[in-house]
């Protein structure tokens, strides 16, 4: 009797432990600068400098140098999708901020893109085909170079010739 009571209490304890650790909140994975849309509003064109940008947003996710510096900041949030999709992650926030900074370190241009803006961007589906065929000059030249590398003295060619004459 005492052991059956203990096993029932253990079952109740483990069940309570499992239920109390379950949460109905969705897990959110965050990447990049939090609250990017709100923070980018404080950046003023022709007034904000690189020190202000680093203080407000931190280090950029990506930097490139052309005529002017281009700094790119990213914010992305993912959460688990519905149970029917077996817990695959779904992106629900994807913001990108592109800043162009001149040689003096002053903000010259600011572009903010959210998920709706990115859906409007058209990507070209054209592909480039190979420019040489098997019977082209390049193919013939490269195959003769390969043959000379593999058999520099022409020994294999002589042996093939002897075999074919027999």
Establish if 75 belongs to a structural domain. yes
Q: Can you tell me the mean pLDDT for 11-31?
A: 72
Establish if 106 belongs to a structural domain. yes
Establish if 28 belongs to a structural domain. yes
Task: Specify the pLDDT at position 110.
Answer: 94
Establish if 47 belongs to a structural domain. yes
Domains of the chain: total:
1
Establish if 19 belongs to a structural domain. no
Establish if 68 belongs to a structural domain. yes
Q: Is 107 exposed, middle or buried (0-12, 13-18, 19+ CB in 10 A)?
A: buried
Q: Per residue in 22-78, pLDDT tens?
A: 666 677 788 888 998 899 999 999 999 999 999 999 988 888 876 668 999 999 888
Q: Please name the residues in contact with 27: beta carbons below 8 A apart, sequence gap of 6 or more.
A: 79, 80
Establish if 44 belongs to a structural domain. yes
Q: Sign of dihedral through CA atoms 50, 51, 57, 60?
A: positive
Establish if 91 belongs to a structural domain. yes
Expressed as residue numbers, the domain containing 48 is 24-119
């Amino acid at each position: 009797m005492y052991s059956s009571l203990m096993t029932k209490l253990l079952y109740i304890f483990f069940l309570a432990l499992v239920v109390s650790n379950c949460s109905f909140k969705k897990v959110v994975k965050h990447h990049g600068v939090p609250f990017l849309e709100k923070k980018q509003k404080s950046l003023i064109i022709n007034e904000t400098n690189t020190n202000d940008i680093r203080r407000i947003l931190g280090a950029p996710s990506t930097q490139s140098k052309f005529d002017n510096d281009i700094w790119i900041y990213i914010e992305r949030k993912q959460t688990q999708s519905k149970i029917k999709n077996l817990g695959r992650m779904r992106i629900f926030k994807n913001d990108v901020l592109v800043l162009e900074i001149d040689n003096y370190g002053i903000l010259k241009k600011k572009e903010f893109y959210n998920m709706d803006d990115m859906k409007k961007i058209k990507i070209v589906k054209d592909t480039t085909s190979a420019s040489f065929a098997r019977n082209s000059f390049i193919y013939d030249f490269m195959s003769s170079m390969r043959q000379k590398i593999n058999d520099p003295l022409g020994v294999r060619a002589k042996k093939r010739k002897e075999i074919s004459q027999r």
